[in-house]
């Protein structure tokens, strides 16, 4: 049997950025740089690390997934982060998007429903020296009202409609990206607060696990 050769994850990361992201319309250079630096393999279960840079979502346990790289990048790009934002993330999952948000914003509060995933994410975030993220376990559909307002909110689970409790926690000019499920279809959707109004823009069709909670399914 041939000796096992460790994959060249750095090369795969660079290829992901060029072919899965840049060539498919991701233009935010801060997002591209962050995704070229964060080791996605640390956020994937060890038995699946060979597939860490596949152009697909991967299971991470508790019937949850780490999203396809392009979807992660599309969410980050739509949030238009410049580095001084307070961000709320709903659905920590593997912690991969959390780590990226930590590089792109000033501070991140991330809520995960499954305590086992939150523990694993915390370990991976420590391995990446991410120190501007707070992890919480609870019902993410309610957000974190006592920490609002947030400049940006990323929701990593599909809701039947944008959760009112989350939209209320958006600052003026704030952006929220949420997968909205309508029948059998899901659309990754950007909402931007303009006073009492919310401007809505469709980003792309998508497929996410459902948002479970008081303001989800």
Q: At residue 166, does pLDDT exceed 90?
A: yes
Q: How far is CA 3 from CA 6, 94, 106, 153, 185, in A?
A: 10, 30, 44, 45, 46
- Average pLDDT of the residues in 34-51: 96
Q: At residue 4, does pLDDT exceed 60?
A: no
- Average pLDDT of the residues in 82-87: 98
Asked whether residue 216 is assigned to any structural domain, the reply reads no
Q: At residue 64, does pLDDT exceed 60?
A: yes
Catalytic residue among 67, 94, 97, 141: 67
Q: At residue 1, does pLDDT exceed 50?
A: no
Under 8 Å between Cβ of 132 and 109: no
| Known catalytic membership, residue 196 | no
Total domains in the fold of the chain: 1
Asked whether residue 217 is assigned to any structural domain, the reply reads no
3: pLDDT confidence band, cut at 50, 70 and 90? low
Q: Average model confidence (pLDDT) for the chain?
A: 95
pLDDT of residue 179: 97
Burial of 2 (0-12, 13-18, 19+ CB in 10 A): exposed
Asked whether residue 138 is assigned to any structural domain, the reply reads yes
What range does the domain containing 145 cover? 9-205
Can you give the CATH number for the domain in which 73 is found? 3.40.50.150
Asked whether residue 149 is assigned to any structural domain, the reply reads yes
Asked whether residue 212 is assigned to any structural domain, the reply reads no
């Amino acid at each position: 049997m041939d000796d096992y050769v460790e994959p060249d994850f750095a090369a795969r990361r660079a290829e992901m950025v060029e072919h899965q992201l840049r060539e498919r319309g991701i233009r935010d250079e801060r997002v591209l740089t962050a995704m070229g630096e964060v080791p996605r393999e640390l956020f994937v279960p060890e038995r699946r690390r060979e597939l860490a840079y596949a152009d697909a979502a991967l299971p991470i346990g508790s019937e949850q997934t780490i999203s396809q790289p392009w979807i992660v990048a599309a969410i980050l790009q739509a949030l238009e982060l410049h580095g001084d934002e307070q961000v709320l993330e709903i659905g920590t999952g593997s912690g991969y998007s959390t780590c990226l948000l930590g590089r792109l914003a000033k501070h991140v509060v991330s809520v995960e429903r499954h305590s086992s995933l939150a523990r694993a994410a915390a370990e991976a975030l420590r391995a990446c020296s991410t120190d501007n993220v707070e992890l919480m376990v609870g019902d993410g559909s309610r957000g974190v009202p006592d920490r609002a307002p947030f400049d940006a909110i990323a929701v990593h689970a599909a809701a039947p409609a944008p959760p009112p409790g989350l939209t209320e926690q958006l600052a003026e000019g704030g952006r929220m990206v949420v997968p909205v499920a309508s029948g059998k279809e899901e659309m990754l959707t950007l909402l931007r607060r303009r006073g009492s109004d919310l401007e809505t823009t469709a980003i792309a069709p998508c497929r996410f696990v459902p948002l479970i909670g008081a303001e989800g399914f």
